[in-house]
A and B are shown apart, each in its own frame.
Chain A
Amino acid sequence: MIAVRPKLAVIKFASCDGCQLSLLSLEDELLTIARAVQISHFAEASSRLEPGPYDLTLVEGSITTPEDRHRLKKLREDSKLLITIGACATSGGVQALRNFASHDDFMRAVYARPDFIETLATSTPIAAHVKVDFELRGCPIDKHQLLEVIASLLAGHRPRTSTESVCQACKRRGNVCVVVAQNLPCLGPVTHSGCGAICPTYDRGCYGCFGPTVQPNTVALSDHLLSGRVNESEAAMLMHGINAYAPEFATEGQRLWQLAGLPKTLHSSLQPARHEEPSA
């Protein structure tokens, strides 16, 4: 045990709070976590919010406003280790669908007085703005993976979060492949593992909430999907879901939208790119 407990902060940007709830869902382990770290700032859990600096900062949500962009820069300065949790923080989240459309149109459709809204034209991942030390995938994140990340960082080693495909978790569980046996559209073969293959376990195709795995062959998968499973726009929507702005899904989704005859392109100034490689 470390004599002085490291200070933990949980901070959110544009997000639904679901990933933070995964931390609170660690009911059996919460007391142990509180013994291992000093929870300094976690608005979802306590109204007692301490200022930085923090040893370990868990960041949820994407950057969608000028104010958040500024707040993030400050947070990075205040954080020894900064870890993103979830799809929003890691790839821009479902709200990054606006990156492929007109943000002004959306504002006019949703708000009676769009002139009161100050927001960026895009939703971008944390790593597009500051250096990120580790990215934890998922929508929401898997609580056991979160525990693994916290435990590993406290023990001083690299977290065990495999980059393998969802298929392997499926197979270890003994799941029968829903693509082969049921002809369901499934992103499992190109999706990063970590969820434990929840959806295929319940007879649904994977919808890619953990984002692309390493070197995902998205073109081969969508060619296969298009051979009698779904049409072009359905395949495009599958790619452009929770992790639409993850580079590999963004590119393939655009290709599919174009095949469907509905050109959906990114803002010209914007291409999915990392601020810098996260150093894990």
Chain B
Amino acid sequence: MTSATESQESNAAVVWLPRAIFQAFLDLLSADGYQIIGPRIEQGAIVYAPLERVEDLPLGWTDEQGPGLYRLKKRADEAAFGYVVGPHSWKRFLFPPQTDLMRSKQTDEGWDMSPVEPADDKYAFLGVRACELAAMEVQDRVFMTPMFTDELYQRRRSQSLIIAVNCTSAAPTCFCTSMNSGPKCHKGFDLALTELTGGFVVEIGSELGRRFTDRLMLVPVTTQREQDAAAAQQQAVDQITRTLDREHVQSTLKNRLNHKRWDEVAEKCLSCANCTMVCPTCFCSSVDDVTNLVDEEVIRQRHWDSCFNFDFSHISGGPVRDQTRSRYRQWLTHKLTHWVDQFGTSGCVGCGRCIAWCPVGIDLTEEARILCEDPAVPEEGQP
């Protein structure tokens, strides 16, 4: 039953989703075979995990963050997305921490090798922030190039539904405005929500996204609500205090390879790899062949690895980067400068996770600033 008015409404690019029917929206996602992954409170933090009900969301909770610090805090309202970003990122689902790639079995005719088919998971990612959309685009450039395509990543990425959320507040660790990655979502989503009291202003980003707003028969948003949404988004922009001089760092950092600051940061750095594990763009992994006791079966496994590991750069003769100083330098220069040469984009999206989840609170924006400060210490040739 479609009236002329309704079909006109359904073409609107911005519609209103009342909180009262948010559960109906989640039910539609489940009915369409999506496993909803979204924010939930677990282990004293807001993590990304499977959910089905509105009540599963962190209603009325927010996060307080700083270098090496994360705490949950009650909000004055019942907002569902009133937090910033937590310890998890979506890479956990697109590029899982551990994956079986291949299985080989010994048979009478020799070794029988077969790839492990990636599970056919169809995710609806709920609550993806602008910096996280940017991070997915960064990882796309790593895992889906014409030369090399990671099948698992590609499959999950292409069949995921992305329901983004515009930030309406920011943490002291955030610096997306410096990295041109947020806080407003501009592209890369099927739907983008801005949470207001009583519901969500929904931007439709794709035909797939529209299928849901149409079925929910959402009406165009009022001008007042559109203004309220813009004001809420501006609030996030205004709260961002941390900065990184992206272009200056990009061009300068690679000329600071012998700066004494590398030694100073190495005194504090635990080389524990937490920053790389929480980073939504870090993509390093190692592959091992795991044999069973009787040598009849071998499983080829891939797991997240890190440039902070002593063994990571181990080649014939020993590790190339055998000190914390050189490992930290590798990470920072790759993330902020060489990534651009390699993939045409910075490896940093300004989400601030590496600052909050560093056990000793090392702040990459501060390190980059000091390293690129003028006047720099005289550079002596090669590292």
Chain B 178-191 near chain A by CB (<8 Å), digits 1 or 0? 00000000000000
A171 touches B97 (CB 8 A): yes
B272 touches A165 (CB 8 A): yes
Cβ of A199 within 8 Å of any chain B Cβ, yes or no, is: no
Chain B residue nearest to A177 (CB atoms) is: B357
B309 touches A154 (CB 8 A): no
Cβ of B303 within 8 Å of any chain A Cβ, yes or no, is: yes
Q: Which of A91-99, A112-120, A216-224 contacts B (4 or more CB under 8 A)?
A: A216-224
Q: Residues of B contacting A181 with CB < 8 Å?
A: 43-45, 70-71, 87
A1: min CB distance to chain B, Å? 6
Q: Of A29, A151, A157, A176, which is within 8 A of B45 by CB?
A: A176
Please report which residues of chain A, range 164-184, place their CB below 8 angstroms from some CB of chain B when the two chains form the complex: 164-165, 167-168, 171-177, 179-182
Q: Which of A30-38, A239-247, A249-257 contacts B (4 or more CB under 8 A)?
A: A30-38
Cβ of A162 within 8 Å of any chain B Cβ, yes or no, is: yes
* C-alpha spacing A168/B308, complex, angstroms: 10
Count of B interface residues, CB-CB < 8 Å: 46
Cβ of A276 within 8 Å of any chain B Cβ, yes or no, is: no
* C-alpha spacing A196/B338, complex, angstroms: 33
B310 touches A163 (CB 8 A): yes
Q: Residues of B contacting A148 with CB < 8 Å?
A: 290
Cβ of A194 within 8 Å of any chain B Cβ, yes or no, is: no
B370: min CB distance to chain A, Å? 18
With A160-B290, A174-B47, A175-B43: A180-B69 Cβ-Cβ less than 8 Å: yes
Chain A 33-61 near chain B by CB (<8 Å), digits 1 or 0? 10110000000000000000000000000
B293 touches A176 (CB 8 A): no
B274 touches A215 (CB 8 A): no
With A189-B274, A190-B270, A217-B271: A155-B291 Cβ-Cβ less than 8 Å: yes
* C-alpha spacing A172/B86, complex, angstroms: 15
B70 touches A165 (CB 8 A): no
* C-alpha spacing A165/B304, complex, angstroms: 13
A39: min CB distance to chain B, Å? 13
B97 touches A172 (CB 8 A): yes
* C-alpha spacing A148/B86, complex, angstroms: 34
A224 touches B324 (CB 8 A): no
B295 touches A154 (CB 8 A): yes
With A168-B273, A174-B92, A215-B310: A220-B293 Cβ-Cβ less than 8 Å: no
Q: Of B87, B304, B356, which is within 8 A of A168 by CB?
A: B304
Which residue, B277, B291, B293, B303, has most C-beta atoms of chain A within 10 A? B293
Interface residue tally on A, bucketed by range: 35 or more
A171 touches B270 (CB 8 A): no
Cβ of A128 within 8 Å of any chain B Cβ, yes or no, is: no
B291 touches A220 (CB 8 A): no
Cβ of A102 within 8 Å of any chain B Cβ, yes or no, is: no
* C-alpha spacing A214/B318, complex, angstroms: 13
Please report which residues of chain B, range 36-94, place their CB below 8 angstroms from some CB of chain A when the two chains form the complex: 42-45, 47, 68-71, 86-88, 92
* C-alpha spacing A63/B298, complex, angstroms: 38
Q: Residues of B contacting A195 with CB < 8 Å?
A: none
Q: Residues of A contacting B268 with CB < 8 Å?
A: 217, 220
Q: Residues of B contacting A220 with CB < 8 Å?
A: 267-270, 360
* C-alpha spacing A175/B278, complex, angstroms: 11
Cβ of A271 within 8 Å of any chain B Cβ, yes or no, is: no
Q: Residues of A contacting B323 with CB < 8 Å?
A: 215
A172 touches B274 (CB 8 A): no
With A163-B309, A177-B359, A220-B268: A151-B291 Cβ-Cβ less than 8 Å: yes
Cβ of B11 within 8 Å of any chain A Cβ, yes or no, is: no
B314: min CB distance to chain A, Å? 10
Q: Of B87, B291, B305, which is within 8 A of A152 by CB?
A: B291
A248: min CB distance to chain B, Å? 13
A172 touches B303 (CB 8 A): yes
* C-alpha spacing A32/B310, complex, angstroms: 34
With A172-B97, A172-B98, A176-B43: A147-B293 Cβ-Cβ less than 8 Å: yes
A225: min CB distance to chain B, Å? 10
Please report which residues of chain B, range 6-21, place their CB below 8 angstroms from some CB of chain A when the two chains form the complex: none
B47 touches A32 (CB 8 A): no
Cβ of A77 within 8 Å of any chain B Cβ, yes or no, is: no
Chain A residue nearest to B92 (CB atoms) is: A174
Chain B residue nearest to A148 (CB atoms) is: B290
With A33-B293, A163-B309, A168-B306: A203-B43 Cβ-Cβ less than 8 Å: yes
Cβ of B382 within 8 Å of any chain A Cβ, yes or no, is: no
B295 touches A214 (CB 8 A): no
B360 touches A177 (CB 8 A): no
A166: min CB distance to chain B, Å? 8
Q: Of A36, A173, A180, A217, which is within 8 A of B270 by CB?
A: A217
Chain B residue nearest to A215 (CB atoms) is: B310
Q: Residues of A contacting B310 with CB < 8 Å?
A: 163, 213-215
B294 touches A35 (CB 8 A): yes
Q: Of B86, B288, B324, which is within 8 A of A215 by CB?
A: B324
Cβ of B311 within 8 Å of any chain A Cβ, yes or no, is: yes
- Contacts A/B (CB < 8 Å), 19 sampled: A160-B290, A162-B311, A165-B271, A167-B274, A167-B359, A172-B97, A172-B303, A174-B92, A175-B43, A176-B87, A177-B70, A177-B87, A177-B274, A177-B357, A180-B87, A203-B43, A213-B310, A221-B359, A221-B360
Beyond the given pairs A181-B87, A189-B359, 16 more chain A to chain B contacts, judged by CB atoms under 8 angstroms and listed by A's residue number, are: A36-B294, A160-B288, A160-B290, A162-B309, A162-B311, A165-B272, A168-B273, A171-B304, A181-B43, A181-B44, A181-B45, A190-B270, A217-B270, A221-B359, A224-B359, A224-B360
Q: Which residues of A contact B (CB under 8 A)?
A: 1, 29, 32-33, 35-36, 147-148, 150-152, 154-155, 157, 160, 162-165, 167-168, 171-177, 179-182, 186, 188-190, 203, 213-217, 219-221, 224
Q: Which residues of B contact A (CB under 8 A)?
A: 42-45, 47, 68-71, 86-88, 92, 97-98, 267-274, 277-278, 288, 290-295, 303-306, 309-311, 323-324, 356-360
